[in-house]
């Protein structure tokens, strides 16, 4: 069956960047088939059995931390999406229902896949809006805006300091104690955030350690310790801003947060309990400011060349969006991120058990 995937995969690759929101070209087909053969990827091929034509495919992987990551759901041009999605979603959920090694299904509807957001909730998925913001480092106003913010923001309270990861861990590898404390801070910042809805790693210290190790390994882009900053109090990390080098000209703020114990509500704020990235004392804003100033200084000294800095935040996270706008970031695009918990998936919908029907004809693993 998988040899039949090749023309579909090649068709997807030809428009992955332009239509599906991918930042770089997908993996070669031989790498994909190897991942399938070794069990790292699984999926479904959607076929019109009457005409013998393949309509599309879905690929997904099951992560060690208990999350099923839907990598791509691509349909051929001219395929009626509602009928196709009904078949493939039902078969996908029927297949994963037989497994007990997952807690959450995660699916970012990038590019044209955002059209599926109206259909997916019929199968139990819930969407959360995500916004990609970008700072154009080549813009004429970027440097003046950053300079103004650097000069007008109040100094940090005397019991706080900001250091780069490289500076804080300058003479030693991070100890297990230091990493554990940092992971506890990550959990405190994100366990109640929308990120934890589709990434259960943020709910426990052991899970946060998996996420941190993945970032340090460079799984999502090269980790840059000289760009990443830590908020320090009493020689402990109470905040972080991790920066990755995602391509030759782009830096990405992967995670930014301040421990709740170091924050207090901002005056005249919306009091949005879901917004954890910045609250008062201005600590989150200060953390971002130090990171941006560090990056711009390095660019000015010719240490590295960057054209833009990106970040992702919730579309309803007013506090976070306001913080990024303050430094000149603009919203570039948004996408729905679907999540489905195992508990929700096992419940019935429309009065019928979700997984009781036989596999629909035309969708094969």
Residue bearing tokens 């840059």: 224
Quickly list H helices, 218-303: 283-300
Whether the predicted pLDDT of 52 surpasses 90: no
> Given this model, what pLDDT does residue 365 score?
61
**Tokens 């495919």 sit on residue:** 57
Average pLDDT of the segment spanning 162-176? 82
pLDDT at residue 292, as a whole number: 92
Backbone angles phi, psi at 72, to 5 degrees: -160, 140
Q: What is the mean pLDDT of residues 70-92?
A: 92
Give the pLDDT of residue 228: 95
Position 304 scores a pLDDT of: 86
The residue with tokens 């139990």 is 124
What pLDDT, on the 0 to 100 scale, is given for residue 252?
A: 96
In the chain, DSSP finds a helix count (H) and a strand count (E) of 12, 15
Give percent of the chain above pLDDT 90. 59
Give residue 352's pLDDT: 47
| Predicted pLDDT of residue 6 | 93
Q: What average pLDDT does range 147-153 have in this prediction?
A: 77
Determine the pLDDT at residue 143: 80
Burial (CB count within 10 angstroms: exposed 0-12, middle 13-18, buried 19+), residue 51: exposed
pLDDT band at 129 (very low <50, low <70, confident <90, very high): very high
pLDDT value at residue 348: 46
Question: Which has the higher per-residue pLDDT, 300 or 183?
Answer: 183
The reported pLDDT for the residue numbered 351 is: 38
Per residue in 192-211, pLDDT (tens digit) is: 998 999 999 999 999 999 99
Identify whether the C-beta of residue 214 lies closer than 8 Å to the C-beta of residue 220: yes
Residue 48: what pLDDT?
Answer: 83
Stretch among 17-31, 116-130, 279-293 having the lowest mean pLDDT: 279-293
pLDDT score for 296 = 85
Please say if the pLDDT value at position 78 is more than 90. Answer: no
Query: Would you state the pLDDT for residue 157?
Result: 78
Give the integer Cα–Cα distance in Å for 120 and 111.
15
Helix (H, G, I), strand (E, B) or coil at 283: helix
Given a cut of 50, whether residue 358 has pLDDT beyond it is no
Q: What is the pLDDT of residue 241?
A: 97
Phi, psi angles (nearest 5°) of residue 333: -160, 170
The predicted pLDDT at position 271 comes to 39
| Ordered structural domains, the chain, with CATH | 2-130+341-364 (3.40.630.30), 142-327 (3.40.630.30)
Determine the average pLDDT of the residues in 324-349.
87
Q: What is the mean pLDDT of the chain?
A: 86
Phi, psi (rounded to 5 degrees) for 77: -60, 140
pLDDT at 242: 97
Confidence (pLDDT) at 360: 40
pLDDT at position 349 is: 46
Mean pLDDT in residue range 41-64: 89
pLDDT tens profile 213-268: 999 999 989 999 999 999 999 888 999 999 999 988 999 999 999 999 887 554 44
Q: Residue 198 in contact with residue 258, Cβ under 8 Å? A: no
Closest by alpha carbon to 111, among 199, 221, 23?
23
Q: Give me the pLDDT at residue 172, please.
A: 55
Angle at 31 between CA 7 and CA 8, to 5 degrees: 15
What's the pLDDT tens digit per position in 140-149?
888 888 878 7
C-alpha of 323 from chain center: 19
- Residue-wise burial string across 75-98, b where 16 or more C-beta atoms lie within 10 A, e elsewhere: bbeebeeeebbebbbbbbbbbbee
By the 8 A CB rule, do 212 and 183 touch? yes
Instruction: Tell me what pLDDT residue 34 has.
Output: 92
Pairwise CA distance, residues 336 & 16, whole Å: 17
């Amino acid at each position: 069956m998988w040899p039949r995937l090749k023309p579909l995969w090649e068709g997807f690759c030809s428009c992955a960047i332009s239509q599906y929101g991918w930042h770089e070209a997908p993996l070669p087909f031989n790498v994909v088939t190897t991942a399938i053969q070794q069990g790292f990827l699984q999926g479904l091929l959607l076929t019109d059995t009457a005409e013998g034509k393949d309509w599309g495919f879905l690929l997904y992987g099951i992560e060690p931390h208990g999350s099923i990551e839907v990598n791509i759901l691509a349909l051929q041009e001219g395929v009626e999406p509602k009928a196709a999605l009904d078949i493939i979603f039902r078969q996908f959920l029927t297949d994963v229902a037989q497994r007990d090694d997952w807690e959450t299904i995660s699916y970012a509807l990038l590019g044209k896949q955002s059209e599926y957001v109206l259909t997916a909730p019929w199968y139990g998925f819930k969407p959360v809006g995500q916004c990609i913001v970008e700072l154009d480092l080549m813009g004429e106003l970027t440097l003046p805006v950053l300079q103004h913010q650097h000069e007008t923001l109040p100094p940090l309270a005397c019991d706080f300091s900001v250091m780069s990861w490289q500076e804080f861990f300058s003479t030693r590898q991070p100890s297990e104690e230091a990493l554990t404390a940092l992971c506890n801070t990550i959990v405190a910042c994100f366990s109640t955030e929308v990120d934890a809805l589709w990434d259960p790693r943020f709910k426990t210290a052991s899970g946060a350690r998996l996420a941190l190790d993945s970032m340090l390994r460079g799984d999502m882009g090269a980790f840059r310790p000289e760009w990443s900053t830590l908020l320090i109090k009493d020689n402990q990390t109470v905040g972080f801003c991790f920066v990755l080098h995602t391509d030759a000209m782009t830096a990405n703020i992967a995670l930014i947060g301040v421990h709740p114990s170091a924050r207090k509500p901002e005056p005249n704020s919306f009091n949005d309990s879901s917004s954890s990235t910045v609250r008062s004392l201005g600590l989150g804003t200060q953390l971002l400011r130090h990171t941006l100033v560090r990056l711009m200084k390095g660019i000015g000294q010719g240490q590295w060349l960057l054209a833009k800095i990106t970040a992702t935040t919730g579309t309803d996270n007013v506090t976070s969006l306001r913080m990024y706008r303050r430094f000149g970031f603009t919203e570039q695009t948004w996408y729905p991120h679907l999540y489905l918990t195992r508990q929700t998936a096992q419940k019935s919908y429309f009065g019928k058990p979700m997984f009781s029907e036989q596999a629909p004809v035309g969708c094969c693993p």
